[in-house]
Amino acid sequence: MARSSRVPLSWEARFPCPPPETASYDTDPRIERADRIFRFWNELVPAYRTMHEMGGRIPCECIWLTAHSFISEEFVGRQQVPSYAAWLADADLSPAYAYHRRMLQLLQWRHPAERWMLKAPSHMAALDPLLAEYPDARIIMTHRDPLKTMGSTASILSALSWMRSDEADIELIKLGFGGEGMAHRLAQAIAVRDRSDVDEGRFFDVRYADLLENPIESIAGAYAHFGLELRDDVAARMRAYLRAKPQGKHGTHHYAFEDLGLDVVRERARFTDYQQRFGVPSEVR
């Protein structure tokens, strides 16, 4: 049976040319080339494996695709270059999404599927150019306590910085991904959703807690919302994937909001309206 969905894998996003072909998709030598890179990441910062599993065959975020346009948060997350981060904050992202489309067209040219399944938190701050480029896009927005997310994000970005620098500037990371930065991203996404010219039906909301407790039911809800069929064989593969990759498979990711040195009362106040709107429980007290 033909595949209905396709995700960009790390190896093909990193080495897209020549375009992948169905006949050699699972044996392409670029897979091992990508694996060697990610093994090196884990050798540099062993704890990173507990934070984010990487590998040539692991799906990647869209920032790996927009990175080829040089307009991407991929560089903000890995390198500490404040001047680039400041430039990107006010940059027109339309060219990046136009290039994103070209990348997908290239990757699917000789290895097609019915639709792309994509992921990137960076889309929150770029829904206008995303929807302009993909007017038929259907968006699943996941929700978790922002204070809990901030601690996790800072931990991961610090690890990525240590791979490429003698020190990680936590203050710089907090500036872009701490309370103010995260609140700004959420506000941008919600402002687009609330516009009269945007169909709210193209969005589906799911809480992180529900996704962990009832993953298949949560995914089935998204399929139903968008009028898609969740076939039994697809659901079975999802269950098999979850059994093979339980949370903490590679160790526990240790992080805490308190490590950021931020005031919990002040930060909680930033997100009160957001949490009430989407029914997001607080995990940090």
Q: Which residue has the higher pLDDT, 3 or 87?
A: 87
DSSP at 52: -
What gap in Å lies between CA 186 and CA 201, rounded to an integer? 18
Q: What pLDDT, on the 0 to 100 scale, is given for residue 86?
A: 92
Query: Is the per-residue pLDDT at 278 higher than 80?
Result: yes
Query: Is the per-residue pLDDT at 1 higher than 60?
Result: no
DSSP 165-176: SSS--HHHHHHH
What gap in Å lies between CA 280 and CA 169, rounded to an integer? 30
As a whole number, mean pLDDT of residues 60-88 equals 94
Least confident of 89-103, 194-208, 253-267: 253-267
Do residues 60 and 9 lie in contact, with contact meaning Cβ atoms separated by under 8 Å?
yes
Do residues 8 and 65 lie in contact, with contact meaning Cβ atoms separated by under 8 Å?
yes
Q: What pLDDT, on the 0 to 100 scale, is given for residue 157?
A: 85
Nearest Cα neighbor of 153 from 122, 112, 189 is 122
pTM given for the model: 0.92
Instruction: List strand residue ranges (DSSP E) for the chain, in order.
Output: 5-6, 115-116, 139-143, 203-207
Burial of 171: CB neighbours in 10 Å, binned 0-12, 13-18, 19+: exposed
Q: What pLDDT, on the 0 to 100 scale, is given for residue 47?
A: 80
Sign of the torsion angle spanned by Cα atoms 77, 153, 207, 6: positive
Q: What pLDDT, on the 0 to 100 scale, is given for residue 163?
A: 86
Tens-digit pLDDT profile for residues 130-181? 999 999 999 999 999 999 998 888 888 888 888 888 888 888 888 888 889 8
- Which overall architecture, per CATH, does domain 5-278 show? 3-Layer(aba) Sandwich (3.40)
As a whole number, mean pLDDT of residues 263-269 equals 93
